[in-house]
Structures are given as C-alpha cells and as structure tokens.
C-alpha cells in the first residue's frame, strides 16, 4: 500500500466477509420462517375468534339464531377447513341470510379436521347446512366446490351444541398435515362453551 492511499480490503478479506454474511443469512432463514408461521397462526386464530364473537353478538342483538358455517374447500392438492361465515336465521321462513362474506384463514393455516383436535367438525356432532329451502351458496373463487360443518348461537347467546361434550377447534400450519393425533408444537385452540356461547383460546 502506498503512503497517503486509504486502506482497502484484499480479495481474501472480501471473500471471508461474504462467506460470513452468507452463513448468517442461512442460519436466520429457519428463525424467520418460524416467526412468519407464528404470525400467520396468530392472525388465523384471531380471525376465527372474532367471527365467533360477532356471530354470538349478532344473535343477542337481533334476538335470532345465528348459524356459523365452517367451510372445507380446496387448498393446493388437498381439501381443508379454512373459512368461516355466519348467517342469521329468519324466524318466518327458516332461511339463512348471510351477515357478510366468507372469511378465509391466512395462507398455510388450516383447522385440523381430526376428531382428536377438532371435535366440532365431526359429522356425528354437527349437521350439514344445506337443505332444499337453503341452497348451497357460491363462495368467491370457489363456486360450490366445498362442504361445511354447522352449529348455531341461539337468540340468548347459548348454542345448540350438546352440553355434555367439549367443543373446540385446533388451528395449525398445513405443512404438518391434517387429522393429527396429537397437538403439534405450535397450535391455536379455540373452545366454545355450549352453555353460554363464550369463546376461549389456548396457545403454547
């Protein structure tokens, strides 16, 4: 180096710095993915919790039953429960009138369909929504390519669920699969009290 010239990095020093930066980036990717998935799960849990609370409030304020539909629809190469919609039941006709559009969970998050983690979705415990008087409504981007599980908040805020059973849903990331036999490391449980319709959440 000539006197008076500013110091400079050698090629070897630059290569070492680049290698260190690359290793730090690679090491940070799993942590970043975990944070992203955790954020998606939190958003999904809050979305469902809010929708359930709004459905119960609508039943109380309108003094009518409100039906909650949980939709199973296509997601990549499989079908998962990943959307919710509420309907006010007309006392005169018995028809269900949507209170708003269906809301979908953030990409990558599903409601587990298994009996261990989501008793509320089991066929023997919930009825199918569709009848001749209440045709299946098309959903945005899906049409009628879906099915649903249904329960109701009654006009007094209670539910039509059996009071002797526990009613809950478990959310987790779709990459873990579906119909899991046990809770994964990262999950979001939403429990509904059948007696008063209150909603509680559990998170590790």
Do the Cβ atoms of 167 and 189 come closer than 8 Å? Answer: no
Q: Give the residue from 70, 59, 139, 149 showing the smallest Cα distance to 110.
A: 70
Q: Is the dihedral of CA 39, 81, 70, 196 positive or negative?
A: negative
Give the β-pairing of 66-75 and 147-153.
antiparallel
Do the Cβ atoms of 108 and 40 come closer than 8 Å? Answer: yes
For residue 13, report the phi and psi dihedrals to the nearest 5 degrees.
Answer: -65, -40
Domain ranges of the chain: 14-202
pLDDT in tens, the chain (204 residues): 455 555 666 767 677 777 777 776 666 556 546 666 788 999 999 999 999 999 999 999 999 999 999 999 887 668 999 999 999 988 778 788 889 889 999 988 999 999 999 999 986 554 544 444 455 677 776 788 888 888 999 999 999 998 888 899 999 999 999 999 999 999 999 999 999 999 999 998
Q: Which CATH class is domain 14-202?
A: alpha beta
Model confidence pTM above 0.75: yes
Question: Which residues, 6 or more positions from 175, have their beta carbon under 8 angstroms from its beta carbon?
Answer: 108
């Amino acid at each position: 180096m000539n006197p008076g010239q500013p110091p400079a990095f050698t090629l070897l020093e630059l290569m070492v710095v680049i290698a260190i930066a690359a290793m730090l980036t690679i090491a940070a990717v799993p942590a970043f993915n975990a944070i992203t998935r955790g954020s998606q799960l939190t958003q999904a849990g809050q979305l469902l919790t809010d929708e359930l609370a709004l459905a119960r409030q609508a039943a109380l304020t309108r003094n009518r039953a409100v039906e909650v539909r949980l939709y199973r629809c296509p997601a990549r190469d499989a079908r998962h429960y990943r959307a919710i919609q509420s309907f006010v039941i007309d006392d005169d006709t018995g028809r269900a009138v949507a209170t708003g559009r269906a809301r979908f969970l953030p990409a990558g998050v599903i409601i587990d369909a298994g009996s261990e983690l989501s008793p509320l979705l089991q066929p023997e415990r919930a009825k199918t929504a569709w009848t001749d008087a209440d045709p299946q409504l098309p959903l945005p981007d899906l049409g009628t390519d879906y099915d649903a599980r249904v329960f109701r908040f009654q006009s007094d805020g209670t539910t039509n669920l059996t009071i002797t059973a526990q009613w809950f849903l478990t959310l987790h990331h779709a990459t873990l699969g579906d119909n899991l036999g046990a809770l994964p490391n990262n999950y979001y449980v939403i429990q509904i009290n059948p007696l008063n319709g209150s909603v509680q959440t559990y998170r590790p």
